[in-house]
Structure 1
């Protein structure tokens, strides 16, 4: 099974030197979303101070296979109807 590494970035990059063996890229994508969700849940309201947080997944060769980023903004998304802006 291939090994994938889940690095995190929020201004500083924290490298994952252990990695995790997974079935393939699709499993790595799912795990990246899970990891990002856990980080956001842990950070709670302090996420607003960070502004964005990313999980970067690389393979054994160091190639990026997926990057998932969550970004915080107090501005409504451009083009979003006003009824959705407050959600």
Structure 2
């Protein structure tokens, strides 16, 4: 099975060094949504102050597969 890596970016980058074996790219996209939903509550303060938050999935060659971004904006 291919291995996918999940990078969390919100001013600093948290990189998944081990990755996760998943059956295919669709499974990696679904896992990214799960990671995003699970970790978003911890990013409320940053989003409220206008920061961004992204979960990026890459393959074993560090090629981008999928990205989810929340953008905080103050008007």
The answer for unaligned runs of 5 or more in structure 2 is none
Is 1:58 matched up with 2:61? no
Distance 1:15 1:30 in 2: 18
Distance 1:23 1:7 in 2: 19
Paired positions, count? 74
For residues 34-68 of structure 1, the C-alpha deviation after alignment (integer angstroms, 9 at most, x for no partner) is: 10111112x16424236211011110111011111
Comparing both chains, which one has the higher relative contact order based on Cα–Cα distances under 8 Å and sequence gaps of 6 or more?
2
TM-score, structure 2 normalization: 0.86
Structure 1 or 2: larger strand share? Answer: 2
